[in-house]
Structures are given as C-alpha cells and as structure tokens.
Amino acid sequence: MTRESESGLPIEPVYGPDDLQDWDAGEKLGAPGAYPFTRGVYPSMYTGRPWTMRQYAGFGTAAESNARYRQLIAHGTTGLSVAFDLPTQMGHDSDAPIAHGEVGKVGVAIDSVEDMRVLFGGIPLDQVSTSMTINAPAALLLLLYQLVAEEQGVSADRLTGTIQNDVLKEYIARGTYIFPPKPSLRLTADIFRYCRAEIPRWNTISISGYHMAEAGASPAQEIAFTLADGIEYVRTAVAAGMDVDDFAPRLSFFFVARTTILEEVAKFRAARRIWARVMREEFGAENPKSLMLRFHTQTAGVQLTAQQPEVNLVRVAVQGLAAVLGGTQSLHTNSFDEAIALPTDKSARLALRTQQVLAHETDVTATVDPFAGSYAVEKLTDDVEAAVVGLMDRVEELGGAVAAIERGFQKGEIERNAYRIAQETDSGERVVVGVNRFQLDEEEPYEPLRVDPAIEARQAERLAKLRAHRDQPAVDAALTALKKAAEGDDNVLYPMKEALKARATVGEVCNALRDVWGAYVPSDVF
C-alpha cells in the first residue's frame, strides 16, 4: 500500500530501475563537491572531518549562559550557538515595559556591550565558531561581538561564525520582526557589505526554514519558501550594486531534521541541487562556492513531546542521523526535556553525546553520501524537487518573496498544512508515541530547569548603572549620526558600531532606527 510523505508525496513499497528509467546520473548527481552538489558540497564530506557540533544555549543572565558555554566547550562542543531572549530579539531593553515577564526566559538577555563582554568572558573568540540566532537586530549583536573581540585583542578578520539575520521568515512564521520589509532588506545588504570589508570570514546570513517547519510547514514548503527568501536577499544585494560572487560564498541556510529519514535526506539533496541551478542560471554566479548550499541543521523541536520525555532521546538520535545522512555542515541536537522547559546541564550534555556517538561509533562518516544511487532516495529527491520548484514558481507569480509575504501566501500555505497535521494527530492517523498511542496511565515526575524571575530586576539595575556612568552626550551624538545614515544611503553599521561602543543600549539603537524606518504592522490579508 502506498504511503504519503510529510509533503504529501507518494512513497511506494518498492522502488526499482523503472522508477529512474529516464534518470541522468551525470545531470542529477555529479561528483561530491561538484555541481550540482546533490551529493554534498565538499568532495570528502565527513571522511575528512565530522560536521561542526553546535549546542544552542542561552538563558537568564550573560553570566549564567557563559557558565553553560564553558561546560559545553569542556564536553567537546566545537561551535557555540547563542539563544537570545525575546526582548533582545525584538530590539527592546530589559527595563522596557513591553519586556516585562520575558527577560531571560527563552534565551540570554543582552542589553549592551557590557552584557556581551560577560557572555563571552574567558572564551577566546579566535578559537570558537559562534552562531547567533538573531534576526531583526542581527547587525547590533554582530557589532557587539566584534567589539568584545577587539577588547580581547582579536582582529575582526579572525572571527568565524554566523548571524541568522533572516528577517523575511519572521514575517512568514515567527513574528520577531521590528522594521518593515524594505528597510530590513536594506539593513541586510549593509551587513553583507560591512562583513565583506571588515569581517570577511563571517557567514552574513542563515536563511532559515527551521521556524517555518516549527510553524507546520511540510518539507517541500520549508525548502521552497526558504530558497525563495534566499533569492530575494540575493536580488537585494545585486540591486545595491554588489557582485554576486562577492557575497554569495558567505550565505548559509538553516533547516530542520524530522524523524522521517528518507524524505529528509531527499529534501537536503534536492535543496542543494535547486540552489546551485538558481545561482548559476539566474544570477550568473561563477565562483563554485557561490553555488554551494551550505546549511546548519537543528533536530525538530516541534516533534518533541512533554509526555514520556525520555522518548525524545530516540527521536533526536533519529533526526540527527537524518541530518548527517543528508550532508549537513553543522548540527544542533535538541535536549530531550525541551518540550517542558529549558534544558538542564545533564540533558544538554546527552544531546551533545548523541552527535558524538553518530560521529565516532557509527560508520556513516566512512563514506561520502551513502544513499547515492538508492532507487527510493533518488526518486524521492526528484519528487521533492518537483514539489519545491512548483511552490517557488507560485511565489514568483505573485512577484517574489516579499510580494507573496504581503499577500499572506506562505503563511496561509503553512497554516493549512499545520491544520492537516493536527487533524491527523487528533484522529490517530498520525501516530505520536506517548501522545495518542502507547501512553502511560501516569507520567513520571520531572524537575525542569527554571529561570529566576529576579533576573529582570537585576538587568534593570545594570541598565540604570550603565546610563548613569556613560558619556551621555557621546551616546546622543552617535545615535544622531546613526539616524542620519538611516535616512540616506550610507552603511548604517559604521555609526551603529560607534553608538554601541559608546554604550548605547540595544533598545536605544533600535528605537533610533524605528524613528526613521517605522515599525512593521502585519496585514490580515490572506
């Protein structure tokens, strides 16, 4: 009996040569590390070295998060991944009325360069790769990171890492936007230019499908809408006068890994192939690195359950395996207790150990692209590719990613798929172990990590002290210069850095830009 994939595509019980009878291996596959990169972006992939093992962490104060980072590094983490609290993500200081009740809850509170200094205290920034999950205020957090590195004596050209900086998906699926799309895209182009000149090894954007998947997107929707956003960013940079090969090699992507291994592997392979073709055919990119779709993967938080949370250890291991078999460049494995609260030290360590088992105790790193030539995977790759291209064509018909966002197209498609998943789960057609089948009569008690609510008051005290002891005329002058740049065509990151160096706060800098660019108000149009 034929089953359907997560994208609604048929999965046959048996595949064979007839399913690929018109299949051109040279056109579809190529060699690993060569166009169209179906088999991976590097010739040796994990046979040379494993993927970067990241752990997404950040909670409470900068000092608490710093302690967690030191533990992760001691346990073998090779890359840090910073979670910021909601006020920071939306450009508000911890003492702003709108921030009340959210300070330090879903990530670390960063209000100024002083907090950033504490966050990375004792961590040599020229020896770690740092990914920061920050979007609308990404420029600010990158500049704060650069300022702290300079205090350590580390020059900007030695810094490596990534800022997510993908504001378009905020309008589609997540909601932590600040400015309207047009100035947000201008800010993105300014970041591209700034990093090319000042921080050349930094990945300037991580174009994200993960949050769309968390909102209910199917694998095909996740890839289609993410690549459509990527095309919009490239068009913006080219329209601003940049040569595609000057910035495209620093683009990166961020996807989810679900428990459905075969479709996930096919999804990653199809995404690489589509992006390589788009960059070559639409944008005329010539540098092979401009054609490579390099991506970070996080296991699917949306598939974790609060019921029988230890079962999530199995889910995360399967999801991590899917990401590795799909050729990810870096991986974050979720902790088993994340459906309940912030991870404990033990659960975070177990999540990292999961990656280490995959890398060192299995044989998946012994050969490049172990699924290449599989009748099932190659057919699924073609099917996913066709579905993705169909959705991307619909976005283009609406005028591109921004125009489609304004029409509510992507959001509507994702919400319909999320509703379908909910119906299937409620009816029992979609089995979720421990939730609608194989339940326990009584759940075992579990003590989660809790954030101290006094953090908000302590952050407010730090802010009051900062404002009382800084050179306020210098801050005012720097913010005025920032507004002037925002009103014109100058790159706003240079005056922004000076404002942050003078100890202007994240909220003050974002408010200065709000005064010029306004704040985004979502449309109810579908």
Q: pLDDT tens digit string along 226-237? A: 999 999 999 999
**Residue 374 amino acid letter:** S
What is the tens place of the pLDDT at every residue in 58-72? 777 899 999 988 988
Residue 74's pLDDT is 87
Alpha carbon distance, N-terminus to C-terminus of the chain: 37
C-alpha 354/C-alpha 359 separation (Å) is: 9
Catalogue the E-assigned strands of 430-493: none
Residue 1's pLDDT is 63
Number of residues that make up the chain: 526
Profile the chain (526 residues) by mean pLDDT over runs of 10 residues. Answer: 89 93 85 96 96 80 90 82 94 97 92 97 93 96 98 97 95 94 96 96 95 97 98 96 95 96 98 98 97 96 96 98 97 93 86 96 97 95 98 98 94 96 95 94 78 89 97 98 98 98 98 97 64
Q: What is the pTM of this model?
A: 0.91
Q: Spell out the residues 6+ positions from residue 291 whose beta carbon is closer than 8 angstroms to its own.
A: 35, 36, 37, 275, 276, 279, 280, 285
Residue 525's pLDDT is 46
Angle 164-167-171 from CA coordinates, rounded to 5°:
135
Q: In terms of Cα–Cα distance, which of 260, 255, 293 is closest to 276? A: 293
Q: Match domain 3-395 to its CATH number in 3.30.559.10, 3.10.20.30, 3.40.50.300, 3.20.20.240.
A: 3.20.20.240
Provide the token pair at 316. Answer: 């995360």
C-alpha 508/C-alpha 86 separation (Å) is: 16
Q: Spell out the residues 6+ positions from residue 391 whose beta carbon is closer than 8 angstroms to its own.
A: 220, 221, 224, 225, 228, 413
All structural domains of the chain with their residue ranges = 3-395, 467-517
C-alpha 146/C-alpha 155 separation (Å) is: 8
Q: Spell out the residues 6+ positions from residue 314 whose beta carbon is closer than 8 angstroms to its own.
A: none
